[in-house]
């Protein structure tokens, strides 16, 4: 887990509480449920906090369900094999490039790939309790520089005002940014990656 495990656990609690409050306000408009996995396709960047949680979850799964853990690892390895040639960064370390060209290339990277943590037979996440922050906040209205974004399957029929009333504020105190700054100051931040490159075999 991250260097300050207690602080990271507090961050997750804040985010999960924010989601619960938003879900209560949203009612039937928020249709996210087990087996709904449209959001599990396409690559997205994960930070070092996400990566540490994923590694911890994989290690825990290896102890509780070795066969399932092996399947996750095999899917991650296959994902890396398929995408290594177009990885916008260093495929050896799994670190995404930070230059403008790499960032532009990432927009088209692995858009059709399914997350290796998804069990496609059950439609559920094998590391759900350890999922990245992007996964934890996807679905409800969350504000970004582009405005309020929601999953296209959710809030169907809701007005702009009704969606705004359900806005989720996942980390109002910016705790995640503080934790990442601490990691960088300690030299422990390996940069951004993607799920498959975090979980591939050593």
Average pLDDT over residues 184-201: 92
Q: What digits encode the pLDDT tens for the residues 148-181?
A: 889 999 999 999 999 999 999 999 999 999 999 9
- Residues of the domain holding 192: 5-199
Whether the CB-CB separation of 179 and 4 falls below 8 Å is answered with yes
Q: What is the pLDDT of residue 27?
A: 95
DSSP 3-state of 159: coil
Task: State the burial class of residue 51 (Cβ atoms within 10 Å of its Cβ: 0-12, 13-18, 19+).
Answer: buried
Q: Indicate the number of domains in the chain.
A: 1
- How does the average pLDDT of the chain come out, rounded? 93
Entry pTM: 0.91
Average pLDDT over residues 41-60: 96
Element of type H or E holding 54: helix 48-64
List C-alpha distances in Å: 28 to 18, 148, 188.
17, 19, 42
Rounded distance, CA 181 to CA 146, Å? 25
Q: What digits encode the pLDDT tens for the residues 103-156?
A: 999 999 999 999 999 999 999 999 999 999 999 999 999 998 888 889 999 999
Q: What is the pLDDT of residue 195?
A: 98
Tokens of 42: 């396409």
Helices 5-26, 48-64: inter-axial angle, 10-degree rounding: 90
15-29 per-residue burial string, b: 16 or more CB within 10 A, e: under 16: beebbeebbeebeeb
Whether the CB-CB separation of 105 and 98 falls below 8 Å is answered with no
Q: What are phi and psi of 90, to 5 degrees?
A: -100, 105
């Amino acid at each position: 887990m991250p260097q300050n495990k207690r602080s990271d656990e507090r961050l997750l609690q804040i985010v999960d509480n924010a989601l619960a409050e938003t879900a209560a306000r949203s009612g039937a408009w928020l249709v996210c449920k087990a087996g709904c996995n449209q959001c599990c396709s396409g690559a997205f960047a994960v930070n070092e906090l996400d990566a540490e949680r994923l590694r911890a979850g994989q290690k825990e799964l290896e102890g509780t369900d070795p066969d399932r853990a092996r399947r996750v690892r095999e899917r991650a390895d296959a994902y890396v094999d398929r995408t290594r040639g177009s990885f916008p960064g260093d495929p050896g370390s799994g670190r995404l490039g930070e230059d403008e060209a790499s960032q532009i290339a990432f927009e088209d990277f692995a858009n059709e790939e399914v997350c290796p943590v998804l069990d496609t037979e059950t439609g559920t996440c094998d590391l759900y309790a350890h999922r990245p922050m992007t996964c934890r906040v996807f679905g409800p209205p969350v504000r970004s520089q582009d405005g309020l974004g929601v999953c296209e399957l959710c809030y169907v029929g809701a007005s702009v005002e009704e969606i705004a009333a359900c806005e989720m504020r996942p980390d109002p105190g910016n705790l995640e940014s503080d934790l990442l700054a601490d990691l960088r100051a300690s030299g422990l931040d390996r940069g951004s990656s993607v799920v498959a490159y975090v979980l591939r075999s050593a």
